Amino acid sequence: MMQKILITRPVPADIVERLKQYFEVAVNEGKKYSANELAIALKEMDGLLVAGAEKIDGDTIAGANRLKAVCITAAGYNSIDVDALTKAGIIVTNAPGPANETVADFTWGLMIATARRIAEAARYVQEGNWKTAVGQRFYGTAVHGKTLGIIGMGRIGQAIAKRGTGFNMKVIYHNRKRVDMAIEQDCNAAYATKETLLNEADFVVLALPFTKNNYHIIDTQELEIMKQSAILINIARGGLINEAALADALQQKKIAAAALDVFEQEPLIFPALPELPNVLLTPHIAGGTEETQYGLASAGADNLIAALGYGPDAFQPPAILNPQVYGK
């Protein structure tokens, strides 16, 4: 009898067909599952491919006695309670890699658009307000030659840093653990304490995973340290920033501007932020290209195939987050 798997959102048809070579596959083609609906669906499943932002915790898997693997089609996994799944002996994987360059491209798009006030100027034209020379109305700040500070020097942080060379920028980074010297040289980046980075950087980019220890890593105190001319960019996870503190800092012009692709309670946004002229907001689309989304879904499928004992990596999925489950 084939093992059964569930895919929480539609993925490309050829990936579904690949999975059908090994499993009996169910795809949720309708609206996003509620927590209770997902818990019920998982009772009959051996594996789960999380193709959205579904929350998986101890309650979700309480009756899922057959469940052996939960594989995510994304690099981030803050919606998954890895500790609870590990305790239950369930393999958890993510999909690092496919989104690295795409997210880095988008980050630079946000940096340039915010620094040069492109969105504001575009709205001005589209709304029919351009009747005469605008003069200094949309003066922004240069990107080239400035200091880029990156908090989180994983794959995405490194991809962002490498692009700094073309803009003749000084690149500094802060990370939980200093990266190897070879990586620093490849990225032309220097390690700095968090305080030094916030104090010196013209652009502060958040590219680190969300954990309990990183909750509101940018709060009132950090915003006070930053340059008044600094621009804050977040393409990682919303919970990294205290949005109320950020709105206040922007209103008080303690920092110059911010660009956010992620939010703590998304799709809800802290009410004051959309009303501010010096903030650029996008709907969590940094990884939003067809190529990247296909790559993420494909990586998640390969992990699930391996986690459930098939393919060249049988029982050794490439991106396992809790290898200790094998001890169980």
Q: pLDDT per residue over 261-283, tens digit each?
A: 999 999 999 999 999 999 999 99
Is residue 72 within 8 A of residue 300, CB to CB? The reply is yes
- The secondary structure element, H or E, covering residue 195 is helix 194-200
Residue 327 has pLDDT above 70, yes or no: no
Q: Are residues 313 and 240 in the same domain?
A: no
When pLDDT is averaged across residues 124-133 and rounded to a whole number, the result is 95
Scan for tokens 């569930």, then name that residue: 6
Model pLDDT, residue 312: 92
Q: Are residues 274 and 170 in the same domain?
A: yes
When pLDDT is averaged across residues 31-44 and rounded to a whole number, the result is 92
Scan for tokens 């010196």, then name that residue: 200
Model pLDDT, residue 326: 81
Q: What does the chain come to in residues?
A: 328
pTM score of the predicted model: 0.91
CA distance 17 to 28: 15
Q: Are residues 76 and 134 in the same domain?
A: no
When pLDDT is averaged across residues 103-112 and rounded to a whole number, the result is 98
- Biggest distance spanned by C-alpha atoms of the chain: 73
When pLDDT is averaged across residues 159-174 and rounded to a whole number, the result is 98
In the structure, what pLDDT confidence band is assigned to residue 328 with cuts at 50, 70 and 90? low
Q: Are residues 266 and 131 in the same domain?
A: yes
Model pLDDT, residue 53: 84
Q: Are residues 235 and 319 in the same domain?
A: no
Q: Are residues 52 and 105 in the same domain?
A: no
Domain count of the chain?
Answer: 2
In the structure, what pLDDT confidence band is assigned to residue 211 with cuts at 50, 70 and 90? confident
Q: Are residues 15 and 85 in the same domain?
A: yes
Q: Are residues 260 and 306 in the same domain?
A: no
Determine the 3-state secondary structure of 191 from DSSP. Answer: strand
CATH number of the domain to which 29 belongs: 3.40.50.720
Rounded (10°) CA dihedral 185, 172, 151, 198: 170
Determine the 3-state secondary structure of 102 from DSSP. Answer: helix
Q: Are residues 196 and 309 in the same domain?
A: no
CA distance 257 to 54: 32
Is residue 265 within 8 A of residue 238, CB to CB? The reply is yes
Closest CA to 110 of 258, 274, 290: 258
CA distance 151 to 172: 9
CA angle 141, 145, 148 (to 5 degrees): 85
Q: What is the rounded average pLDDT for all residues in the chain? A: 95
Q: Are residues 113 and 227 in the same domain?
A: yes
When pLDDT is averaged across residues 190-194 and rounded to a whole number, the result is 98
Which positions are catalytic?
Answer: 237, 266, 284
Number of Cβ within 10 Å of residue 315's Cβ equals: 13
Q: Are residues 39 and 113 in the same domain?
A: no
Q: Range of 269's domain?
A: 100-281
CA distance 80 to 144: 39
Residue 203 has pLDDT above 90, yes or no: yes
Which is more confidently placed, 164 or 79?
Answer: 164
pLDDT for 47-93, tens place per residue? 999 998 899 999 999 999 999 999 999 988 888 999 999 999 999 99
